Structure 1
């Protein structure tokens, strides 16, 4: 299992840096410091590696949501925290970076990747519906499922722009700007996020 994890880590780094078309099994073997045969023992081909890295990406997303679900945050605060924690993970975690890039390149991968962000939208929808019921979701007439889809679309679009322009260094203020614009009722809950919000940087992003 340790060898498999090393291979996955190397593949994630390469997919994040070079993209799926630019990576070879030899690249993965060299970065893992093992033989090509050892890579093939665990993964049949490069496509299988991409699927495994994408699965890890979604496991990371699920883990972030589960950790927040264990807290006593309000539903709306949970949505804000999820987006900010995901932004921080995309900035710092190579598996998250690789998974996001593989989703963009999914048409180049001759295998079916997981349906993009389905569970992520679902958990945000659930929290927004709870917020509508307990009165913490205010200042919007948009129904929770539509609002969740808009939030996720805006967020992952912003992370892509942040990646292309600034290597995701400004992804957190961009995320705070989305939260303040789409669900302004979350303003008071932003103090619960992983990093204290900086209003000036959010406006500049």
Structure 2
């Protein structure tokens, strides 16, 4: 299995115009409250239907306070997507520390990601903002490609370790796993507000990993 840094997500800090860099603890807390409040609203309503005033009302600050930390609504969206992507290298490091085989590492990564989609509003908002990319006048990263790259690397290692069926092509399998995972969480979002995302992914994961795992 390759070292974590060779299979990890390249966390890309999204360039964005930021407000003043707060120095005081109170300002730092306010900045986080604004970010989480915006994430909640973007998750619930989408980017276009949530205004800066809505964010201010949600976290009980002035509109000016929101603009102090995030000068535009696009800057808020960029910050949320940035934090969304920051979750995955941290998750990979935690899973890698379990020292599983490459195929089990791939499965565990997706299982843990499903939990994040269930519980973490930053992850939820980041996913919705990525879907709404055409509506946002800012350059967001291309979604899914890092996940495909990560899983392909793990599946190549799994193939070398004899963990895959002989007819499995790692690149194709990785693409299928990512498509199934993100499709599963999206369907869960639409039908149950992600309340069943973990159990739905567990069912899908059992089926998919059984189909590629060597007997």
TM-score, structure 2 length as denominator?
0.81
1:55 aligns with 2:82: yes
Counterpart in the other structure of 1:196:
none
Counterpart in the other structure of 1:120:
147
Paired residues for 1:94-173 under 5 Å: 94-138=121-165, 141-173=167-199
1:41 aligns with 2:68: yes
Distance in 1, matches of 2:153 and 2:161, equals 12
- 2:107 is aligned, of 72, 80, 90, to 80
Counterpart in the other structure of 2:20:
none
1:69 aligns with 2:96: yes
Offset, 1:143? 1.7
Structure 1 portions without partners, runs of 5+? 189-205
What does the per-residue CA deviation read over 1:35-73, in whole Å, with 9 as the maximum and x for residues that have no partner? 111211121211111111011111112221221112111
Tell me whether 157-166 or 177-186 shows the greater mean CA deviation: 177-186
Offset, 1:186? 7.5
Offset, 1:173? 2.4
- 2:204 is aligned, of 168, 178, 203, to 178
Counterpart in the other structure of 2:8:
none
Counterpart in the other structure of 2:5:
none
Distance in 2, matches of 1:66 and 1:12, equals 25
Preserved contact between residue 151 and residue 178 of structure 1 (Cα < 8 Å): no
Distance in 2, matches of 1:121 and 1:162, equals 21
Please list every run of at least 4 consecutive aligned residues from structure 1 whose deviation after the TM superposition is greater than 6 angstroms.
185-188
Offset, 1:159? 0.6
Work out the number of aligned pairs and report it. 187
Higher helix share: 1
Offset, 1:142? 3.2
DSSP-derived class of the 2:140 partner: coil
Preserved contact between residue 164 and residue 213 of structure 2 (Cα < 8 Å): no
Tell me whether 175-184 or 63-72 shows the greater mean CA deviation: 175-184
DSSP-derived class of the 1:41 partner: helix
Distance in 1, matches of 2:124 and 2:199, equals 18
Preserved contact between residue 7 and residue 39 of structure 1 (Cα < 8 Å): yes
Paired residues for 1:8-47 under 5 Å: 8-47=35-74
